[in-house]
Amino acid sequence: MSAVAVRAMFRSHPEKPPHSEVMSRCIDACFNCVETCTACADACLSERDVSDLVGCIRLNLDCAAVCSATGSIMSRSNKAGHRQLLEAQLANCVAFCRACADVCDAHGDRHRHCAVCAEACLACADACSAMLAAMRMPA
């Protein structure tokens, strides 16, 4: 649903951003990852083996912070300049998402919320990579 709304936003944006389709998916994947990482950190806090999950909780919170920044920055990306900044932010986001997915996946069989979170992280990494690829293509 939210992907639909974001797409409608950028279709009616006065600057007609060139990659609005892939950009909308990227932004939506970022905020989806914020949601799942925030929820996963909280679910981990409720697990009995919480002391074993501290590293996962920290990375969940880190990943949520980076994805939130990326989502808002990409919403302002549809204009000239600062392409290098956007690319660095996207690459950074991919790295955090993959690291978080790895850590969550390592105990995804014991904690289903971690398996769900790993999926959302990988989906976000993919959407950010697709955005990076689109930006690097000749317009």
Instruction: Give the contacts of 128 (CB within 8 A, at least 6 positions apart).
Output: 26, 29, 30, 70, 90, 93, 94, 97
Q: Does 46 bind a second copy (CB under 8 A)?
A: yes
Largest Cα span, the chain? 52
Q: What sign does the dihedral 64-68-69-71 (CA atoms) show? A: positive
What is the footprint of a second copy within residues 62-101 (CB under 8 A)?
Answer: 62, 64-66, 68-69, 71-73, 75-76, 78-82, 84-85, 88-89, 91-92, 95-96, 99
| Contact indicator for 121, 37 with CB cutoff of 8 Å | yes
Closest approach, Cβ 83 to a second copy, in A, equals: 11
Q: Does 106 bind a second copy (CB under 8 A)?
A: no
What is the distance between the alpha carbons of residues 139 and 127, in angstroms, rounded to a whole number?
19
- Note the residues at the interface with a second copy (CB under 8 A): 1-3, 5-6, 8-10, 12-15, 27-28, 31-32, 34-36, 38-40, 42-43, 45-48, 50-51, 54-55, 57-59, 61-62, 64-66, 68-69, 71-73, 75-76, 78-82, 84-85, 88-89, 91-92, 95-96, 99, 111-113, 116-117, 119-120
